Amino acid sequence: MLNCRELVQETTANPDLLEGSRLRLSVRLHLMMCRYCRRYVRQLQRLLALLRRQHDSDKTCPPETVERVLAEIRQAELKQPDPPAS
C-alpha cells in the first residue's frame, strides 16, 4: 500500500488520476484510511478545477500555468515533513 509521501507524489505527478474512476486501487485504499491525504486530494482537486474554470472563462490561465502551479506544489511537498502515520 502507498504511504502518504507516495500518494502525494503519485497524485501531483498525474492529476488526471483524480478524475472520475481513474483512481488506482492503491490510491483508493490509502485515501480510505488517511484523512490527511483525503484532505490533500480534495484541495488539489479544487485547485485544479479552479484553474481550469479560470482558463475556460477568460482564457487567462494557460495550461503552462497549471503545470507551473503543480510543479510548485511538488517542490513544497518535498520540503514538508511526513504527516503523522495513519
Q: What is the pLDDT of residue 74?
A: 73
DSSP code string of 25-59: HHHHHHHHH-HHHHHHHHHHHHHHHHHHHHHHHHS
Cell of 18: 483524480
- pTM comes to 0.61
Model pLDDT for residues 3-34, shown as the tens digit of each residue = 998 888 888 888 777 776 667 788 888 999 99
Q: Find where cell 520540503 sits.
A: 79
Residue 72: in which H helix or E strand, if any? Answer: helix 63-79
